[in-house]
Amino acid sequence: MSATRLLVLGVVRMHGSAHGYQVRRELLSWSADKWANVQPGSIYHALKKMTTEQLLEQVATEAGSGPDRTAYRLTEDGEAEFQLLLARALSQPDPASQERSAAIVLMTALPRERVLGLLRHQLVQLEAEHRTAGMLADERTAGEKPAHVHELFRLWQLHADANVTWLRELVARLEAGEYLMADDSGQSFGEPPARRPTTARGRGASRHCAD
């Protein structure tokens, strides 16, 4: 799965319809070129490819020519693809993946309990990796390995510890009502402009709408 694919779908969806330049400007404002390696050429390529795949459709073309003149919006298949990619990336345990980073940025486009379920699934897998890293880093299990190889296991253990800690804290914040999600009252980040949730949550949703 491509992080660019998920991010482009997410931005077009968020705006209802968007030109290539608008998508590019939005993603650059998130510094996605740094943490997801999103480049202008890959954005326009994704727009064209997903239009061919009927995940996007052209809705308007301004006078003139060029990729910045055409506006796109998600089709029904595009909405289904966005939901699938987002859910898959939120549940995957690879902390270093660009797709996971993209999913965290767009997670508020899903209902709270849906996100919590996906993150808990990811947490179970990360906790298993954390236990494995701890056993490998234990001096008593070094065995016949060269002594310096143990430094790699220590690094793995530190990364695993940091990721588990961060994810547990994120789950706790979401459980406490932090961040405005798709099923909260109000317009959450990543939701199409015409979509207005009607169900209200009490605990802290409005308090954190600026996050």
pLDDT by residue for the chain (211 residues), tens only, comes to: 589 999 999 999 999 999 999 999 999 999 999 999 999 899 999 999 999 999 999 997 766 555 567 999 999 999 999 999 999 999 987 877 899 999 999 999 999 999 999 999 999 999 998 888 888 777 655 566 677 777 888 888 888 899 999 999 999 999 999 999 999 988 888 888 866 444 444 444 433 433 3
Task: Identify whether the C-beta of residue 55 lies closer than 8 Å to the C-beta of residue 83.
Answer: no
Give the Cα separation of 178 and 120 in Å (integer).
16
What is the value of pTM for the model shown?
0.82
Q: Please classify residue 22 by burial: count the beta carbons closer than 10 Å to its beta carbon, then call 0-12 exposed, 13-18 middle and 19+ buried.
A: middle
pLDDT of res. 56: 98
Nearest of 13, 89, 23, 109 to residue 55 by alpha carbon: 13
Distance CA 43, CA 27 (A): 9
Query: pLDDT at position 144, please?
Result: 66
Residue 93 sits at φ, ψ, to 5 deg, of -90, 5
Of 20, 165, 25, 31, give the one whose Cα is nearest residue 3: 31
**Helical H runs in the chain?**
3-15, 20-29, 32-35, 40-52, 76-91, 98-106, 112-137, 150-175
